[in-house]
A and B are shown apart, each in its own frame.
Chain A
Amino acid sequence: MSLNARNTRLSAAVAALFIGAGLAGCGGGGKAPASEPILIGHFGSMTGSEATFGQSTDNGIRLAIKEVNAAGGVMGRQISLKTYDDQGKGQEAGTAVTRLITSDKVVAVLGEVASSLSIAGGRVAQQYGVPMISPSSTNPQVTETGDMVFRVCFLDPFQGWVAAKFARENLKAEKAAILYDQGQAYSKGLMDAFDKAFKEMGGTITTVQAYNGGDQDFSAQLTTIRQTNPNVIFVPGYYTDAGNVSIQVRKLGLTAPLLGGDGWDSVKLAEIGGASIEGSYFTNHYSHQNPAPQVQNFVATYKTDYGQIPDGLAALGYDAARLLFDAMNRAGSLDGKPLAAAIAATKDFPGVTGTITIDAQRNAQKAAVVLEMKNGVPAYVTTIEPPK
């Protein structure tokens, strides 16, 4: 069984090599039939606890494709998308990317939101030499996988720093408590960054507590947190858990605001948290209230197509797809290496989530926004630029 799998992979790799050589031979791969659409792949959590992540991202990508196709496509060809659901599971993410590359023969892969899944999928993309852009995975390890893996969002060390700066300077917090998801690389990374930055800025971390994703009872952790009397509670988890935490925080009579990361960005946060999540803050990639015309155009079209306000993940999916098309045009080729080189050379790309420049580590340098939950909608509070 394993032998067979290996053989398939080997032959696929050999085939890819031949195709690559063939394309290089005819000068940049522009000779493919113009009638055939260019296929790109997306793997995401379309179901599971983080389902809105995958669905929003997919909506954003599809909107970008619709727009580019209406404008004549890329290199004179239409774009088409193949999406696979990884159910929020690492193993499924690897399988999804393998299927996209070996059986669907996509030229590039977009995905995932959760960092652990992008790491799993990135390994496969790297192995086959197909460029992958993660729209919204913020853990540093994601792009360390290799030179085929990129991202269009900021990183957790920066996001944690932003949260700490906001807590210290805007909320004037002296003492912060942390409650993080010990099963997620994302949550752990954000926790470390916040912990370090908050202490450097002269604040005190009163206690660090952990939970497992999906837990329903946080009473033990929150009772400990209550005893330390913090000004703010940092909860760098995903929205389902953050909503549940907020219910119990208020039930215990704690009044300190909660502070979270971009993992909170979902309409489900307000649905689950209800009144308990009001007045809490989270750092994010963009705000739909940004008055810039390209943002407002995007929000308006998205609303017409999907009937809801785009969250940050939809915006990043949209930006990732558009950045990929831009790179395809500049590369003039759909071959892995030149396409990756073109993505890497992206400079000052105007995205709805900010101006994107890909750095030497294949990451994007961007500012972050802080949002406050007001009447069930994240409202813009402030923008925090990266330290110079």
Chain B
Amino acid sequence: MDGVAVGSLYALIALGYTMVYGTLQFINFAHSDIFVLGAWVSYTIAVAMGYALAGTHPPLYAGILIMLAAMATCGAAGFTIERLAYRPLRKAPRLNVLITAIGVSLFLQNVGQLKWFFGTQPQRMPSVLEDHILATFAGVQVHLVDVIGAATALALMLVLDWLIFRTRMGRAMRAVSHDTNVASLMGINVDAVISFTFVLGSSLAAAAGFLYAMKYPGLNQPAHATWVLLGLKAFVAAVIGGIGNIRGAMLGGVLIGFIELFGAAYLSPHLRDIYVFSILILVLLVRPSGILGRAVAEKV
């Protein structure tokens, strides 16, 4: 059950990596920091709502509000980052953009640690939802938090799938990812599509951040190495699923979650990170373009 819950969070984060890669062919290293921002904004809003002080469990709709607010904040952050940091480099070599992404990531980590921002202390996320054990199968407990988390993640992914494969904007996104130049010749506003991609990816990461904080309420300080590792695993999920492929990212995320937690439970918890990265090596050796990815011939 933990595998599904954690896996669906990896999938949500992986979607952001994969969508940006699909449209711009670069890896947005600042994406994992957007996820952290999502978790911490959720915490800040939840505390601001006063539930931490009241000590009571607020109703479920408060949780939905917190999540939507976090998604909006991170969507705005994603938009701003793209506008200020990446758009000026649209014509620059890809390596420049990649280095800029690392810079943005470091910037976010360090700003997050400032006293007037999130500070450098770990914090306890107030619980929005009282957790119950719904059922127990063969010693495996099914927790309400996990079910709601996985269901929310799944719902968001279905919405995304619909958005990309059934709407005009989605068609435009696919067109841009297919060939940017031709898409712009066909009258698609490429910059708008790219901005939209960033907003979408960032708000999904924010939702993942909120759900993560619900599941693991003791939040590490914003620049803790654990966050970076989580982001890396989500990136691995995107690569395994086939980077640039939306459904691949969902599959990869759930797969990584399962491998990590089953490995930890049945083999040894000391090596959990190793399982994830071994699978990456394995997939890269056997199917370098990822499970659902299509092999692309490099133009010479």
Q: Which residues does A use to contact B, with CB under 8 Å? A: 47-49, 51-52, 182, 209-211, 214-217, 219-221, 223-224, 240, 243-244, 247, 251-253, 268, 271-274
Contacts and interface: CB of A to CB of B under 8 A. Distances in A.
Nearest to B221: A49
Contacts of A214: 220, 224-226
Interface in B1-60: 2, 6
Given A214-B224, A223-B265, A252-B141, A47 B122 contact: no
B123 A271 contact: yes
B94 interface: no
B131 A251 contact: yes
A268 B131 contact: no
Contact of A219 (B123, B212, B265): B265
A246 B134 CA distance: 21
Given A243-B218, A244-B216, A272-B218, A220 B122 contact: no
Contacts of A51: 120-121, 221
A230 to B, nearest CB: 17
B177 to A, nearest CB: 33
Contacts of B133: 253
Interface string B115-138: 000001111100000010100000
A211 B269 contact: yes
A220 B124 CA distance: 22
Of the candidates A182, A214, A220, the one having the most CB atoms from chain B within 10 angstroms of its own CB is A220
29 contacts: A47-B113, A47-B120, A48-B120, A48-B221, A49-B220, A51-B120, A209-B269, A210-B269, A214-B220, A214-B225, A216-B216, A217-B6, A217-B216, A217-B261, A217-B264, A219-B264, A220-B261, A220-B269, A221-B264, A223-B265, A240-B122, A243-B122, A243-B218, A244-B216, A247-B218, A251-B131, A271-B123, A272-B218, A274-B124
B293 to A, nearest CB: 28
A219 B124 contact: no
B122 to A, nearest CB: 4
A240 B217 CA distance: 11
B272 A220 contact: yes
Given A219-B2, A243-B218, A247-B217, A52 B121 contact: yes
A271 B124 contact: yes
B287 interface: no
Contact of B124 (A52, A243, A251): A243
Interface of B: 2, 6, 113, 120-124, 131, 133, 139, 141, 143, 212, 216-218, 220-221, 224-226, 261, 264-265, 269-270, 272
Given A243-B218, A244-B216, A272-B218, A215 B122 contact: no
Given A49-B221, A243-B122, A268-B122, 18 more contacts: A47-B120, A48-B120, A49-B122, A52-B121, A210-B269, A210-B270, A214-B225, A216-B220, A217-B216, A217-B261, A220-B265, A240-B122, A240-B220, A251-B143, A253-B141, A271-B124, A272-B124, A274-B124
Nearest to A239: B122
Contacts of B264: 217, 219-221
Contacts of A210: 269-270
A217 B145 CA distance: 14
Nearest to B226: A214
Contacts of A48: 120, 221, 224
A219 B4 CA distance: 14
Contacts of A224: 269
Contacts of B226: 214-216
A293 to B, nearest CB: 33
A240 to B, nearest CB: 4
Contacts of A268: 121-122
Taking each of A210, A217, A243, A252, which has the highest tally of chain B beta carbons within 10 Å of its own beta carbon? A217
A334 to B, nearest CB: 34
Contacts of A216: 212, 216, 218, 220, 226
Contacts of B265: 219-220, 223
A102 B200 CA distance: 51
B218 A240 contact: yes
A217 B2 contact: yes
A102 B50 CA distance: 49
A48 B216 CA distance: 19
Nearest to B120: A47
B57 to A, nearest CB: 12
Q: Top 5 nearest A-B pairs by Cβ distance?
A: A220-B264, A214-B226, A47-B120, A244-B218, A216-B216
